[in-house]
Amino acid sequence: MARIRIENVEKDYGALTVLHDCSLEIQNNEFIVLVGPSGSGKTTLLRLIAGLEPISRGDLYFDDTRVNNLDVSDRDIAMVFQNYGLYPHMSVFDNMAFGLRRRGLAKLEINEKVRRTAELMNLQDFLERKPKQLSGGQRQRVALGRAIVRDPEVFLLDEPLSNLDAQLRVQMRSEILRVHRSVDATAVYVTHDQVEAMTMGDRIVVMDNGRIQQVGTPEELYDRPENIFVASFIGTPAMCFLEAKTNGDKLLTDGGDLPLLPDHRERIGEREHVTIGLRPEHLLVGEGRPTVSGVVEVVEMLGAELIVHFTTGSHTLTVRLPRGEKYRPGDQVKFGVTMDQLHFFDRDTGQAL
Amino acid sequence: MTDITRSGFRAKSKFGKTGGKAVQYILIAIALFWTLAPIYWMLSTSFKSELEATRLDPTLFPEAPTIANYVGLAGSSMPFFQFFLNSVLSCLLAAIVAVIIAVPAAYALSRAKFRAANSVGYIILVVRMFPMVVLLAPLYLVLLNTGLLNTLFGLVVGYTTFGLPFAVWMLKGFIDAVPIEIEEAARVDGYPRWQVLLRIVIPLIYPGLITTGIFVLMEAWNNLIYPLTFITDINKQTLPAALVLTFTGQFKTDWGGMMAAATITTLPLMVAFFAVQRSMVRGLTAGSVTGT
């Protein structure tokens, strides 16, 4: 049982503040993903939770105990490191048993726990091997096994899949989720890959520039991004943006005029300029809708579908189409817009309207 | 035309290749001669009679090889075995003490984030910059006042003083090469810092410990000035100092006997060097390789 509460936490390195006013509450047994580009502060936040770095300002609670000054070795956490951090001079068995020995468990019990975990991680045949005799995927599984064998209250994972190839990554993703379901622990998972975040997290924390941008379920982040950063970071292909000027009941854009619905007017208020956000699936082929037009720039064939990038004035828009549509670079195109799905952002602050 | 040019070019490049190789071998030969000639001269002289060793036209090979010098050593009134034992004991102890003290110091310098870490590191190294002789007088006073003068342990203190800075810096290099995540993993596993040092870092830098120890040992073994100054009792003297004291007289030097003794002095060092040669090479390059 562990609930993690982060209150106004900040972190300085010398004169540089790398985390600004981060507050977050993580529920017991939740799988939460910290996602953001490199330098966004996600790993720093994870290391603060682990106790590997001291907190400069703010408070950190495990359940209702303040743990700011609790040494890392006294927090009941387990961590999986990006480059595994296995003990090179120990066998797989000893790597997993190392933490249990510290807790003074009986030899038989350690044996039993390690063997059970090894089976769960499919490592039973490698227990006598040293880390250097294992493949990348196997090492990753040892690192995971070492974490779960301890049966910790809090599980911290720092980009654990970034050193694996694409195929193995997908496989390990579901393996981690399966393991998380089988143990009773709160998990904090750091990644820069938004697909990983979307597929794994109960809730996702999007970070940028040392600040938490938005916290929410994958659906919330996708459907109701709070600012331009979150909107552009979540989703592949990414959301596209189009500058627009309001004129009576119209939105004037480079790609043509769009009607201004009453709901839009309410959201935009008195603003004259606004940024429109368009997801690729909200542009459609066919008649009967207001359209944006432009010139095809790149066509990406993904097998089941086509991704077409086209430019309207200074903006590039992306549309997702079923296979079979024929487009070539240079073609003049026109796509219908699902008007009730538009996102609006303040042009100056980037906040969603 | 093209054929001729091409073959001509090839011939030239072939010559360039062999030429380069030749220069390489010549340079290696010079370096080898430079290092091995004194050792050969020592060995060869140790097998010469007294007369032959001091001839005005020295012989390259002993004309009448004799082991008289070695026999002389064994039967001499001087306790050579005792000298040997003194050397081994004091140097080995100095190496062990230096490494034991250097490990935590190097660990702190390598991992600590305190502001003065860098300057502290350089201050330690400054001791190395002094000529050995500069430390002689203060060390003498320290040993005099602690009653350690004319004892083997006092000698160990002297050797350690000079060997420690080097040991700290060398070990720091080894510890730097241990990825920090391994230590952090152990911390997360619940181990306090000192246990991480004992159970994770030390086993991982084991070759480095041996290499550093050997370096300190070799340096101590060759040290002449400290035993000559700190030890007044001939029975407590080390080999190098004993060689100087016993074979060089005011009017005559027993070159053959001295070289025989020198051979015996050098031999253990060579054995030690070849024994750790592999881990030494690994040790010296450890910092250049990432990962484990």
Give domain limits for chain A: 4-233, 240-346
Backbone angles phi, psi at A138, to 5 degrees: -65, -40
Q: Omega into A237 within 30° of 0, i.e. cis?
A: yes
Chain B neighbors of A77, CB-CB under 8 A: 188
Q: Do A85 and B200 touch (CB under 8 A)?
A: no
Q: In a mutagenesis test of the B interface, which of A47, A75, A89 is the best target, namely the one with the most B β-carbons within 10 Å?
A: A89
Q: ipTM, 2 decimals?
A: 0.83
CA distance B290 to chain A (A): 12
pLDDT confidence of residue B255: 84
Q: What pLDDT shows up at residue B142?
A: 92
Nearest to B174 by CA among B207, B199, B139: B207
Q: Please give the pLDDT value at position B11.
A: 53
pLDDT for B3: 46
Task: Inspect the interface and report whether the beta carbons of B188 and A79 lie closer than 8 Å.
Answer: yes
Supply the pLDDT for residue A167: 82
pLDDT at A6 over 70: yes
Q: Is B249 on the interface with A (CB under 8 A)?
A: no
Q: What is the CATH number of domain A4-233?
A: 3.40.50.300
Q: What is the mean pLDDT of chain A?
A: 88
Question: Is B188 within 8 Å of A71 when comparing Cβ atoms?
Answer: no
> Which chain B residues in 101-140 lie under 8 Å from chain A, judged by CB atoms?
none
**Which chain A residues touch B179 with a CB distance below 8 Å?**
83, 85
* Number of other residues whose CB lies within 10 A of the CB of residue A11: 22
Residue A83, chain B, CB below 8 Å: the answer is yes
C-alpha dihedral (A61, A66, A69, A73), degrees to nearest 10 = -60
Q: What 8-state DSSP symbol labels residue A177?
A: H
User: What are the b/e assignments for B214-252, b being 16+ CB within 10 Å?
Assistant: bbbbbbbbebeebbbbbbeeeebbbbbbbbeebbeeeee
- Average pLDDT on A150-179 reads 85
Task: Measure CA B156 to chain center.
Answer: 15
Gap from B196 CA to chain A (nearest CA, Å): 11
Q: How far apart are CA B230 and CA B246, in angstroms?
A: 17
Searching chain A, which residue's CA lies closest to the CA of residue B179?
Answer: A85
Pick A102's closest partner by Cβ from B181, B190, B204.
Answer: B190
| Closest partner CB to A89 (pick from B187, B189, B204) | B204
Q: What percent of chain B has pLDDT over 70?
A: 88
Chain-chain contact of B185 with A79 (C-beta, under 8 angstroms)? yes
**Which phi and psi (to 5°) does residue A7 adopt?**
-120, 115
Q: What is the pLDDT of residues A243-297, one digit of tens each?
A: 888 887 888 888 888 888 888 888 888 888 889 898 998 888 877 788 888 889 8
Q: Are A6 and A22 a contacting pair, CB within 8 Å?
A: yes
CA angle B177, B179, B184 (to 5 degrees): 140
CA distance B133 to A15: 45
Q: Is residue B291 within 8 angstroms of chain A, CB to CB? A: yes
Does residue B182 belong to the interface with chain A, where contact is any CB pair within 8 Å? yes
| A36 close to A215: Cβ distance less than 8 angstroms | no
Output the pLDDT for position A235: 87
Distance (Å) from the alpha carbon of B283 to chain A's nearest alpha carbon: 16
Q: Looking at domain A240-346, what is its CATH homologous superfamily?
A: Nucleic acid-binding proteins (2.40.50.140)
What pLDDT sits at residue B288?
A: 37
Answer for the pair B45, B255: CB distance below 8 angstroms, yes or no. Answer: yes
The closest CB to that of A85, out of B181, B191, B204, belongs to B181
In chain B, the residue whose alpha carbon lies closest to the alpha carbon of A14 is B115
**Tell me, what's the pLDDT at A255?**
82
CA–CA separation, A132 and B176 (whole Å): 20
Per-residue pLDDT of chain B (292 residues; tens, 9 = 90+): 444 445 445 555 666 778 888 999 999 999 999 999 999 999 999 898 888 888 888 888 888 888 888 888 777 777 888 888 999 999 999 999 999 999 999 999 998 877 787 888 888 888 778 887 888 889 999 999 999 999 999 999 999 988 899 999 999 989 998 889 899 999 999 999 999 999 999 998 888 898 899 889 988 998 888 999 999 888 888 988 888 887 766 667 788 888 888 888 888 788 877 877 766 655 544 443 333 3
Q: Residue B73 has what pLDDT?
A: 78
SS3 sequence of chain B: CHHHHHHHHHHHHHHHHHHHHHHHHHHHHHHHHHHHHHHHHHHHHHCCCHHHHCCCCCCCCCCCCCCHHHHHHHHCCCCHHHHHHHHHHHHHHHHHHHHHHHHHHHHHHHHCCCCCHHHHHHHHHHHHHCCHHHHHHHHHHHHHHHCCCCCHHHHHHHHHHHHHHHHHHHHHHHHHCCCHHHHHHHHHCCCCHHHHHHHHHHHHCHHHHHHHHHHHHHHHHHCCHHHHHHCCCHHHCCHHHHHHHHHECCCCECHHHHHHHHHHHHHHHHHHHHHHHHHHHHHHHHHHCCCC
Residue B106 CB partners (closer than 8 Å, separation 6+): B167, B168, B169, B170, B171, B172, B174, B175
- Domains delineated in chain B: 2-69 (no CATH), 78-286 (1.10.3720.10)
pTM of the predicted structure, to 2 decimals: 0.79
Cα-Cα-Cα-Cα dihedral of B147, B149, B154, B158, to 10°?
120
Contact B143, B230 (CB under 8 A): yes
Find chain B residues with C-beta within 8 A of A132's C-beta.
Answer: 292
Helix, strand, coil share (%) of chain A residues, nearest 5: 30, 35, 35
Contact (CB<8Å) A71/B192 = yes
| Contact at CB, B184 and A81, closer than 8 angstroms | yes
Give the phi and the psi of residue B177 in degrees, each rounded to 5: -80, -10
State phi, psi for B60 to the nearest 5 degrees.
-75, -45
Q: Give yes or no for residue A45 having a pLDDT over 90.
A: yes
Residue in this structure with the two tokens 């005029």, named with its chain if needed: A257
The pLDDT score that the predictor gives to residue B189 is 92
B-contacting residues of A 52-81, CB under 8 Å?
52, 71-74, 77-79, 81
Chain A residues whose beta carbon lies within 8 Å of the beta carbon of residue B291: 83
pLDDT at B4: 46
pLDDT for position A188:
93
**pLDDT exceeds 90 at position A76:** no
pLDDT for B268: 78
Kindly report the nearest CA distance between residue B124 and chain A, in angstroms: 26
For residue B188, give the chain A residue with the closest CA: A73
Residue A156: name the closest of A4, A287, A328 by CA: A4
Q: Which of A1-15, A163-177, B65-79 tops mean pLDDT?
A: A1-15
Taking CA atoms, B41 is separated from B37, B72, B274, in Å, by: 6, 19, 21
Q: Using 50, 70 and 90 to split pLDDT, how confident is the model at A107?
A: very high
